[in-house]
Amino acid sequence: MFSLPDQLLVLVLLINFITIGTSRLVFSIRAVAVQGVILGILPGLIHPFSWHLVAIMVGILVIKGVIIPLLLGRAIRSAEIKREVEPFMGYVPTLLLGALFTALSFGFAGKLPLLPEHQNYLFVPASIATLMSGFLILTTRRKAISQVLGYLVLENGIFIFGLLLAEAMPLMVEAGVLLDLLVGTFVMGIVINHISREFSSLDTSRLTSLKEE
């Protein structure tokens, strides 16, 4: 019988597949937002109550679940795009690769010398699988907005692994990481708007044709 944290981690893995397999950008943004909300809940399920923990959870829920999705939603409305039409790799092969990476993540995590209190959770395999899913999205999509989503999923994978160390990490370090993520997404939103204005497209492969005059 899976514990509640493990059930939520399975949901995180399913969201990885949804994000990999859909071309609808609004749907992908909502899926990543739900993933952020789940990551905001998880620390409260595996660590004892403390105000440090509450601050982490509130910060994650607000930034990953609300602010970043709003920024990305505004970016795609400004650029007037709805779908990732022609990715570098088709959706079915990408999904198959995602499934392969997920299976390999479970196999690899099973061979790691984990602490006894961490062995009964899916945090490590879910972390590696989410990180690889983000990398897959980042490298197989043409649209800049899709690559931002890949970066967010990749960061979520790193964050899941960091949950095992939540008690050892100072609050200011975590706040700094969340702030960097927020600023990075905000800057990418501005960059996306400028790319859309100059090239009438968000296909990053066209940037390779730029050269000095």
Using 50, 70 and 90 to split pLDDT, how confident is the model at 129?
very high
Task: Kindly report the backbone phi and psi dihedral angles of residue 24, in degrees, each rounded to the nearest multiple of 5, phi listed first.
Answer: -80, 115
pTM listed for this prediction: 0.80
pLDDT average, residue stretch 164-181: 63
Does the pLDDT of residue 172 top 60, yes or no?
no
Using 50, 70 and 90 to split pLDDT, how confident is the model at 12?
very high
Q: What DSSP string describes 35-52?
A: HHHHHHHHHHHHS---HH
Report pLDDT digits (tens) over 73-95: 888 887 777 777 678 888 899 99
Q: Give me the residue spans of the domains in the chain.
A: 4-195
Adjacent-strand bridge partners of 83: 24
**Poorest-confidence range of 31-35, 61-65, 142-146, 197-201?**
197-201
